[in-house]
Structure 1
Amino acid sequence: MNQGKTKEEILAATGATLGVNQATFDVKAGEIFVIMGLSGSGKSTLVRMLNRLIEPTNGNVYIDEANVSQMNKNDLRDIRRKKISMVFQNFGLFPHRTILENTEYGLEVQGVPKAERQEKAEQALDNAGLLPYKDQFPDQLSGGMQQRVGLARALANDPDILLMDEAFSALDPLIRRDMQDELIEMQKTLNKTIIFITHDLNESLRLGNRIAIMKDGEVVQVGTGEEILSNPANDYVKRFVEDIDRTKVYTAQHIMEEPTAVTTQLETPSEALRIMVDEGMSNILVVDKDEQLIGFVTREEVESLLHQGHDDISSVVQSDVPEVESGALIDDLFDVIHDSETPIAVTSNKGELEGVIVRSNVIGAMTTDTQYDVINNNEDDTEIKDSTKEELDHE
């Protein structure tokens, strides 16, 4: 390996398989860090090295400042019992123990008193929606329910770190997606540090805050889903992601643009209309003095106010502007933009206008090109009647 030989060359020369090769990465507290790759890439070997189920032959593993690679047996056992829990693909439940007994097993090994460990186990089962089944045995539950028991058992210990090795791979597609949803919801509350192993790119993109892609024992790229899709590190990663539906990965933030123009509800009809004429707009978003979105007005209504001599446009502001936050997936925007006469407003959690999304941007997001052509959000209104300009000039 130190001579730069490939995994195949080492196998041919020595008969030994290089499981993990110079893998270096860091995991942030509270994130879901996904390690993914095809079968044989080394991902399961790597995750088992983190808690020394497999001994590293070289290198170090740190949890905070503690070097796991150099711990004695007692310290390592303590780390495994209290700091790290693991969820396996094959559930790993004891068939002769009830669901409650399976869930409290880790606490039992720690020597936690029976009443206390049962209380914690019941709370973990309740969080997983399985408390009514606590007295049943594993073979009385479906595969998805058994996997939830495995997850509840891991969480009953209240670990800082959760290692999940292909935890959902054996489940049916619908159950698998349900488990992914449950993990996402659980993480919002528990905020664990999760290292999730999978060979499914869609799963990794859906779950991971960041993703490490492995090939032949090496980590070839680490980044967010968006970074990997938009800037693959090499041809292998590029081929890996070329068939991914980008609308399920990219968010509103990636395709929104700065509003061409906005106005306030106290703006005069003549000035609001002048802005729309100059920008070729059939409607315009309306905000207050703090940039909070109020709604929109149409050119037709503003022209009517102008003829009637109104002082401002507040009386015709319509509030039904579709709003999304910047983290909304593009896949969720199709129905919204299809039914809307206005651009989609991208707002912060405080209601501040951050950008707008027009129909052409949503359609462009379906292509593999990461550069989107921005088309004017009122394509049909680029030609302004001379009479309107003349009337504004006169006004």
Structure 2
Amino acid sequence: MTALRVEGLYKVFGRRPEEAVARLRAGATADEVRATGATPAVIDASFAVQPGEIFVVMGLSGSGKSTLLRMLNGLLEPTAGSVFAGEEQITGLDDKRLREVRQRRMSMVFQHFALLPHRSVAENAGYALEVRGVDRRTRLAAAREALAMVGLEGEADRRPDELSGGMQQRVGLARALASEAEILLMDEAFSALDPLIRREMQDQLLDLQRRLGRTIVFITHDLNEAMRLGDRVAIMRSGRIVRTGTPEDILADPGDDYVARFLADVDRSRVYTAADVMTDADTVVHADDSPSAVLAALGVHGDTSALVVDDRGGLTGVVTEGDLRDAGRPGGAGTIAAHVRPPAARVAATDPLADLLGPVGTSDLPVVVVDDEGHPSGVVHPGAVLAALAGAPAEEADGRPAGVPVDAVPVDAVPAPERIDERPELAGGPRG
């Protein structure tokens, strides 16, 4: 079930709006309709938002994005089309039921905070529950819990005018969280903030989303903000949605010149992540493997370094072909343990490329992507990072696709008798 669904939504202001919709459906342009005295603000918008998704609607001033948002919770009545929250159709509800939907299912965070100046921070945060009729003790407890989520646990008794702009916006976000609404509608919520505070609020929202998994529709005119926050992004132009997709999809295929012009200024290092550019780590070994066996495995895969894991499959370090050859014992006895070094960095799959630029630029060792248990998921090479920043994230310098999970070393491909201790489990998986 989708959290929110929009089907063929139109909003026309001015003369004979229904007639204007009919003309638009028949192929008339927005300019032709405006010549009749009607103003199309949203034209045939359709999309679905999944539960727990941040869906960003991005467009310049006058593109129709805020008008679209206000139709989602009935603040504006569509000229045509339908909006569904879950399976309930929002368009056409009577006033009483519409108020209930706004109080319980959808909460809104505004650009200019919309705080009540004569009430305390806690009272502002609990206001939606007060409107719903929740008793004072319960709503203040919920408000204080929500304030703690946004880092304002010590500010509950202050007045809004005693807070900075960023703190006031946090109160607005806490009010939405305290309402326990399934869907948050955020209209240019951070655009009035200074750049540094704005980025802090973006970080706060992403952190809250990871913990709470709310469904969010976020309106912005800033494409970098859209690309950073959105699981998916819809780009509007002159009332129409002209492109919808993940940030990575849109960067790879803008769809038209209008969208492509926006992308020229996007900070790709903040959009692409380690997962987008990592390649599979073909050679995964253990510290008690012999140098000759590891060199043979490197030769099979054409790698210059191997990932070293422990008995549970956790990353312990890397070893390079150069290290083993310089040791002067490619056919000798012993193990590789003395030659294992830390990787250039350990990163999570979700880390942005901006965080990888230092390690890949200053070390000849690979950056290793690990999961929450410390198991390697892949490696990142400098060429893949440069390709992504240049607009070609799908392939690394050797042509292998990015984002492929780690494979075990196929020991059968390692020439006998130098297989890795003749033990298949040493090919990268946990032993025992």
- Which TM-score bucket, shorter chain as reference? 0.7 to 0.9
Does the 8 A contact of 1:286 with 1:317 survive in 2? yes
Alignment-derived partner of residue 324 in structure 2: 302
Match of 2:37 among 3, 8, 15: 15
Q: What amino acid does structure 1 have at the position aligned with 2:108?
A: M
State how 1:277-292 maps to structure 2 within 5 Å: 283-287=305-309, 292=314
Q: What amino acid does structure 2 have at the position aligned with 1:79?
A: V
Aligned length: 380
Q: What amino acid does structure 2 have at the position aligned with 1:339?
A: T
Q: Deviations over 1:269-300 (max 9, x none)?
A: 22323444666765433346775433222445
What is the rounded CA distance, in whole Å, between the counterparts of 1:146 and 1:133 in structure 2? 10
Q: What amino acid does structure 1 have at the position aligned with 2:379?
A: V
Does the 8 A contact of 1:361 with 1:375 survive in 2? no
State how 1:235-314 maps to structure 2 within 5 Å: 235-259=257-281, 261-276=283-298, 283-287=305-309, 292-299=314-321, 301-303=323-325, 304=327, 306=329, 309-314=332-337
1:353 is the counterpart of 2:382: no
Alignment-derived partner of residue 106 in structure 1: 128
What is the rounded CA distance, in whole Å, between the counterparts of 1:333 and 1:318 in structure 2? 18
Does the 8 A contact of 2:124 with 2:175 survive in 1? yes
- Percent of paired sites with the same residue: 46
What is the rounded CA distance, in whole Å, between the counterparts of 1:301 and 1:348 in structure 2? 27
State how 1:1-395 maps to structure 2 within 5 Å: 1-11=24-34, 13-259=35-281, 261-276=283-298, 283-287=305-309, 292-299=314-321, 301-303=323-325, 304=327, 306=329, 309-320=332-343, 322-370=345-393, 372=395, 374=397
Does the 8 A contact of 1:36 with 1:43 survive in 2? yes
Moved more, 136-145 or 160-169: 136-145
What is the rounded CA distance, in whole Å, between the counterparts of 2:394 and 2:133 in structure 1? 58
Q: Deviations over 1:338-380 (max 9, x none)?
A: 332311122333333332222222223221344555159xxxx
Q: 1:71 to 1:310 in 2, by over 3 A?
A: same
Does the 8 A contact of 2:277 with 2:394 survive in 1? no
Deviation at 1:34, TM superposition (A): 0.6
Alignment-derived partner of residue 381 in structure 1: none
Unaligned ranges ≥5, structure 1: 377-391
Deviation at 1:244, TM superposition (A): 1.3
Does the 8 A contact of 1:246 with 1:366 survive in 2? yes
Q: Deviations over 1:34-87 (max 9, x none)?
A: 111011111000010011100011111111111111222221111111111111
Unaligned ranges ≥5, structure 2: 1-23, 400-414, 419-432
Q: More helix by proportion, 1 or 2?
A: 1
Alignment-derived partner of residue 412 in structure 2: none
Deviation at 1:308, TM superposition (A): 8.7
Moved more, 142-151 or 302-311: 302-311
Q: 1:15 to 1:48 in 2, by over 3 A?
A: same
Q: Deviations over 1:85-128 (max 9, x none)?
A: 11111111122223233222221211111222222222222323
What is the rounded CA distance, in whole Å, between the counterparts of 1:114 and 1:287 in structure 2? 56
Q: 1:317 to 1:218 in 2, by over 3 A?
A: same
What is the rounded CA distance, in whole Å, between the counterparts of 1:302 and 1:266 in structure 2? 14
What is the rounded CA distance, in whole Å, between the counterparts of 1:373 and 1:207 in structure 2? 26
Normalized against structure 2, the TM-score is what? 0.80
Does the 8 A contact of 1:296 with 1:321 survive in 2? no
Q: What amino acid does structure 1 have at the position aligned with 2:384?
A: N
What is the rounded CA distance, in whole Å, between the counterparts of 1:253 and 1:307 in structure 2? 34
Q: 1:270 to 1:368 in 2, by over 3 A?
A: closer
Deviation at 1:142, TM superposition (A): 1.8
Alignment-derived partner of residue 382 in structure 1: none
What is the rounded CA distance, in whole Å, between the counterparts of 1:274 and 1:15 in structure 2? 77
Does the 8 A contact of 2:109 with 2:184 survive in 1? yes
Does the 8 A contact of 2:186 with 2:218 survive in 1? yes
Q: Deviations over 1:227-264 (max 9, x none)?
A: 11111122211112122121211112222223354444
CA RMSD of aligned residues (A): 2.7
Q: 1:274 to 1:72 in 2, by over 3 A?
A: same
Deviation at 1:194, TM superposition (A): 0.8
What is the rounded CA distance, in whole Å, between the counterparts of 2:77 and 2:91 in structure 1? 8
Does the 8 A contact of 1:305 with 1:313 survive in 2? no
Q: 1:33 to 1:277 in 2, by over 3 A?
A: closer
Does the 8 A contact of 1:36 with 1:201 survive in 2? yes
Q: SS state of the match for residue 184, structure 2?
A: strand
What is the rounded CA distance, in whole Å, between the counterparts of 2:297 and 2:307 in structure 1? 11
